[in-house]
Amino acid sequence: MSIIEIIVLALVQGLTEFLPISSSAHLILPSQVLGWQDQGTAFDVAVHVGTLLAVIIYFRKEVVDILTAWFNSFGAQGKKTDDSQLGWWIILATLPSLIIGYLLKDFVEVYSRNAWIIATTTIVFGLLLWYADAKAKQIKTIYQINWVMALLIGLSQVVAMLFPGTSRSGITMTTGLLLGLNKQSAARFSFLMSIPVIAAAGSYYIYKLSTGDELIDWNAIILGAVLSFIAAYACIYFFLKVIEKMGMFPFVVYRLLLGLGLFAFLMW
């Protein structure tokens, strides 16, 4: 990988992992459009670790509060709190992706990773995000999530795993909004439930790396992890401020322009 490829792919991963515009689509597109070679398993591990650290550090207080309350809820003297319940809903929302994603991972790698599917899902789910942002009630907070809502958000996440271009954060936020969550709560729940999902994906990549014979470029690994961390942390910070003032509309417009541009490129 050239230094330009390392910088571009790391920044793309960091900036798009938590925006509702699909990180997987943006990582696939360079190889399809620019003819770049696949970045390899080791680099995937690095950028995933970078984004994972970013979301954990940004939400460190919430993560500590949820984990502490969740562990304290066990035992005879355990007590249930809003944070302990939220911990259970994050686990429940993660299970569909871990189970279905594992069973269908070969289908995704063989059949779903192409530019036509990315262009289609980018537009379709961009319009769905616009509808949710414009029409949903958005009156519930993150602590008003119940098991049905958590499961539905978790199932929607599976769609993003199966069809690149959907956007994991985009579809989970869209579902949260449609279920009545306000923008901040939908985004925060999406970010928090990304932690076990990204950790699982990173573990899978590490397993592939340990059982393969891929040569590791440590300079690319370190630079990729650092850049993806910085980009992801900044992305979370600014995204939460943008949606408070402007909603999801800027990201809807971006998705539509990206999808139409990709269709134009493919038909040219």
Give the contacts of 217 (CB within 8 A, at least 6 positions apart). Answer: 1, 42, 43
CA 94 from centre of chain: 12
Average of pLDDT values for 70-92? 88
| pLDDT value of residue 185 | 96
Report which of residues 152 and 108 the model is more confident about.
152
Residue 46 confidence (pLDDT) above 80: yes
| pLDDT value of residue 105 | 65
| pLDDT value of residue 108 | 62
Over residues 159-181, the pLDDT tens digits come to: 888 888 888 899 999 999 999 99
| pLDDT value of residue 25 | 67
Across the chain, how many H-helices and E-strands are there? 12, 0
* Residue 33: both structure tokens together: 């459009």
Residue 78 confidence (pLDDT) above 60: yes
Q: What is the pTM for the complete model shown?
A: 0.89
CA 98 from centre of chain: 14
| pLDDT value of residue 50 | 92
| pLDDT value of residue 73 | 86
